[in-house]
Structure 1
Amino acid sequence: MRRLLGVVAGLSVAVFGLGVPAAAEVGGQGDVGGSGGRYLGAVTLVTGDRVSVREFGDRLVPAVDPGPGREHVQFATAGVGDRLDVVPSDAWGGLREGVLDPRLFDVAALLRGGYGDGDRDDVPLILPAGAPGVGVALGAVGGKAVAVPKGDVAGFWEELARNRGGGRVWLDGMRRPSLDVSVPQIGAPAAWKSGWTGKGVQVAVLDTGIDATHPDLRRRIAASKDFTGEGG
C-alpha cells in the first residue's frame, strides 16, 4: 500500500478535511521529489492546473504547474492507498460545502480512468442546468453534460466559480460494474467447476420494458418490438 504524501504551501490540509498523518512528507509547492521515479502521467484539473505524477516505490509524488494567472494559488495534497488528491485553495470551500465532486481532484484515479492529458483533451463534467457552458441536457437530474477543452478550462473555472447554477459539479465519470459478489452468491464458480459452462446453450435476451416518457428517452427511441401482444 502506498504511504500518504502531503504537500502544503503554507496551509493545513485539514482545511478541506483530508487528514495528514505524522509520516507525511510536507514541503513547498516545488518540493515534490524532483526527477526520477516512474512517470505515471499528467492531468489537467477542472481548475486549469496541471498535475504530473511520479511513483517512487510505495509513494505517489505530484508536481503542480498552476494554470494561467493562478500562480498565487496554494495547493494541498493528500493520499492513501491508490488515492492522491491535489486540491487548489480556491476549491477547498466547494469541497467542504459538498458542491464539488471530490473525484475531480483525485489525480491518481483520473489517470487510471483515462482522463489524463495523454488520453483526452477535455474535462467532462455534469453541471446544474443554470451553470455556464453548452452541453447535453440531462432532464432526469436537472442538469447537463459539458466537455470543456483543457485549454479553456481555467477560464471556465473562473466563470463557474461565479455561477455554479445552484447545484453540485460532478465529474462525468465512468462506472465499471463488478461481478465479484453477485457471481459467487448464485454459485456460478461451483457450476463452472462441474462443467456447466453454458457452451451450446441457446440464450434469449428479453427486456421487461422501459418508460418511454422518461426525460432521457423521450423522442430518442429509434425502434422497438412488443412480443407480448398486450401492447405493454
Structure 2
Amino acid sequence: MRIRAGWVLLPALACLVAVAIPGPAQASQGSTTAIPVLSAASPAAKSVRTITLITGDKVTVTRGAGGIPGISVQRGLGRTHIGFQASHEWHGTDQHISVVPSDAQALLTAGKLDPRLFDVTEQLDAGYDDASSDSLRLIYSSRSGKSATARSAIQQHGARITHTLDVLDGGSFAPAKRDAASFWKFVTGTQGLRGPLDKLWLNGRSRVALAESTAIIGAP
C-alpha cells in the first residue's frame, strides 16, 4: 500500500532549509500534514547521506531524536530564488522521500523528467550519494530525427555519452555533479528538453518504466 503522509513547500529565502519527516504512525491513507520547519543547525540532527539532484541542489538526509528522519536542502549556485516541495510515501515499512525544485515541476508534469530523478531514497539505495559518486547517472531520449543533434548538444555541455541506446534514439551519460547547476540550465533550454531532447531518466536499477519500454519496443 502506498501512503502519502505529507507535503510541504520549503521557503526560498535561505540557502539551507530543513524539514522533519513524520513516521508511519503519523500517516493515514490520502492524508496531508504540515511538516514543521527545523533549524538546519539543530544539534539533535545527525547527518546521514547527501545527494546532488540534477538541478545542482544538494539534499541531505538526517536522523534526529527518536530516529525520525529529516531532510535539508542546500540550493545550487545561482538558485536562491528556487523553492522545493518535499514528499514522502510509505511502501509497507519502506519510506521514500522525494524533493522537487519548483523549476522542475512543469517538466515533471509534462512527462519530460523521470520522477526518480528527485526520489532521494531511490538514489541513496542505488549508491548515488555524493560520497560514493561524483557524477549524475542519466539516460536520455531524443525527438524524432534529432538523435545526432541531441548527442552533440550533450557532448558540447561537457558530458560523455557512455552507452548508445538505439531503441530510445538516445543513450546514457554521466555529467559531473560539480557542474550540475549549469548543466540543468542546458537541460531546460532550447538545446535541451525544449529542443532535441525528448526525456531524461535516472539511470537506475530499472532504467525505463515497463509501460514506456513496452511502447518503445512494440510489445503487447
TM-score of Structure 1 vs Structure 2, range by shorter chain: 0.5 to 0.7
Distance in 1 (CA, whole Å) between partners of 2:30 and 2:198 is 29
Q: Which residue of 1 aligns with 2:76?
A: 67
TM-score by length of 1: 0.63
Q: TM-score, normalising length from structure 2?
A: 0.67
> How far off is 1:139 after superposition?
1.1
**2: distance between equivalents of 1:3 and 1:36?**
26
Match of 2:178 among 144, 147, 151: 151
Who wins on radius of gyration, i.e. which is larger?
1
What number of residue pairs does the alignment pair up?
Answer: 167
Q: Given the alignment of the two structures, is residue 23 of structure 1 paired with residue 24 of structure 2, yes or no? A: no
More helix by share: 2
CA distance in 2, matches of 1:172, 1:115: 10
Give the superposition deviation at 1:50.
0.4
Matched, 1:77 2:75: no
Q: How far apart, CA to CA, are the structure 2 residues paired with 1:2 and 1:34? A: 28
Q: 1-side partners of 2:118 and 2:41: how far apart? A: 20
* Corresponding residue number in structure 2 for 1:34: 42
Q: How far apart, in 2, do the equivalents of 1:3 and 1:59 lie?
A: 17
Separation (CA, whole Å) in 2 of partners of 1:32 and 1:91: 24
Residue 109 (structure 1) shift: 1.7
Q: Aligned partners of 2:164, 2:204: CA distance in 1, in Å? A: 16
CA RMSD of aligned residues (A): 2.9
- Give the ranges of 4+ consecutive aligned residues of structure 1 lying more than 2 Å apart after TM superposition: 1-7, 19-24, 30-40, 55-60
> Which structure 1 segments of 5+ residues have no match?
12-18, 177-232
Structure of higher RCO (CA pairs closer than 8 Å, 6+ residues apart): 2
Taking the aligned partners of 1:109 and 1:60, their CA distance within structure 2 comes to 15
Note closer, same or farther for the CA distance 1:9–1:76 as it changes in structure 2 (3 Å cut): same
Separation in 2 of the partners of 1:24 and 1:33?
A: 21
Q: What is the identity, as a one-letter code, of the residue corresponding to 2:102?
A: S
Q: CA 1:166/1:64 → structure 2, altered by over 3 Å: closer, same or farther?
A: same
Residues 24-173 of structure 1: pairs in structure 2 closer than 5 A: 24-27=34-37, 34-56=42-64, 57=66, 59-81=68-90, 82-128=95-141, 129=147, 130=150, 132-134=153-155, 135=161, 136-162=163-189, 163-164=192-193, 165-173=196-204
| 8 Å CA contact retained: 1:6, 1:79 | yes
Structure showing the higher strand proportion among its residues: 2
1:35 & 1:76 partners in 2: Cα distance?
A: 24
Deviation, 1:111, is 1.1
CA pair 79-122 structure 1, distance change in 2 beyond 3 A: same
SS in 1 for 2:104: helix
Write the mapping of 1:4-19 to structure 2, written as runs, cut at 5 A: 4-9=5-10
CA offset digits 1:79-122 (Å, max 9, x no partner)? 02211110000000011111100000011221121010011000
Unaligned runs of 5+ in 2: 13-28, 142-146, 156-160, 208-220
In structure 2, distance between residues paired with 1:31 and 1:5: 19
Using the TM superposition, give the Cα deviation of residue 7 of structure 1 relative to its aligned residue in structure 2, in angstroms: 3.3
Question: Would you say the 8 A contact 1:100–1:170 is kept in 2?
Answer: yes
Query: Structure 2 vs 1, CA of residues 86 and 20 (structure 1 numbering), >3 Å: closer, same or farther?
Result: farther
CA offset at residue 32 of structure 1? Answer: 6.0
Change (3 A) 1:109 1:58: farther
> Does the residue aligned with 2:124 lie in a helix, a strand or coil?
helix
Structure-2 separation of matches of 1:31 and 1:2 = 27
